[in-house]
Amino acid sequence: MRRRAHIDLDTIRQTAASSSLPDCTADLRADAYGHGLLPVARALTDAGVGGFLVSRVEDAAALADEGLPVPVEIGAPESGRTVRGPELFGLDPAHPSPPAMRLEGEVIAVKRVPADRGVSYGYTYRTSHPTTLVLVALGYADGILRVASNKAPVKVGDIIGRITGRIAMDQFVVDVGGDGPAPGDPVILFGDPELGEPTVLDWADALGVAAPVITSRLGRRIERTYTR
């Protein structure tokens, strides 16, 4: 069952190598905002970033074991260095940069339903006309914020839908309108706008929360894969 966060290390490296980012301390708290501490630290070291900010002793030890630059633990970075964090991953709307993460789930069921059919717990969504609902194998146990219920955009095949009804522990529903999706089809929660996918900043706008909150909460059931 597909639960995957694909992280493009080339994107992170290129973002860090642009402008003044190499001359900075990179904020890698919360497992590099959910992107993976060690793979991201290696990519940033390749880009010339000279220091890291972490919040756990275990993270500092892991970096030291890899021979990566000694991190700063809950303290000030070297004098004259700027701390950079969300903008390294495309998470800061004030400093636009390409998104580094694509979050992907999988359609596990498809059902045609009539009008006025309640969806998920509490029936906070009811279908307005006959439509097709798909069940997606991601939920709040994976760190998908429940506030995304009835709000967040997702891409199912070529269709941009919206999470429909309340997000459950292991799954959520999307009303896709007509026929088309089939079990096994990929579902992109957020990714690359150049591919017509919603972005994590779209999610942030829809949910009214900061983008780093969304990625930092993603759980261990979601496999991290990397492109170099």
CATH, residue 64: 3.20.20.10
CATH, residue 170: 2.40.37.10
- The three state secondary structure string of the chain is CCCEEEEEHHHHHHHHHCCCCCCEEEECHHHHHCCCHHHHHHHHHHCCCCEEEECCHHHHHHHHHCCCCCCEECCCCCCCCEEECHHHHCCCCCCCCCCCEEEEEEEEEEEEECCCCEECHHHCEECCCCEEEEEECCCHHHCCCHHHCCCCEEEECCEEEEEECCCCCCCEEEEEECCCCCCCCEEEEECCHHHCCCCHHHHHHHHCCCHHHHHHCCCCCCEEEEEC
pLDDT along the chain (228 residues), means of 10: 94 83 82 97 88 91 87 63 86 94 97 95 94 96 97 94 96 90 95 96 97 96 92
Measured between alpha carbons, how far is residue 21 from residues 61, 110, 162, 212 in Å?
Answer: 24, 46, 35, 19
Domains: count for the chain: 2
Cα(96)–Cα(166) distance, integer angstroms = 31
Residues 119, 204 within the same domain: yes
Quick one: pLDDT at residue 46?
87
Point out the domain boundary residue: 54, 89, 124. 89
Quick one: pLDDT at residue 75?
65
Quick one: pLDDT at residue 82?
74
Residues 122, 170 within the same domain: yes
Quick one: pLDDT at residue 74?
76
Q: Which of 198, 190, 143 is nearest to 170 (CA)?
A: 143
Would 133 be classed as within a structural domain? yes
Would 116 be classed as within a structural domain? yes
Would 225 be classed as within a structural domain? no
Domain with 156, as residue range(s), is 101-209
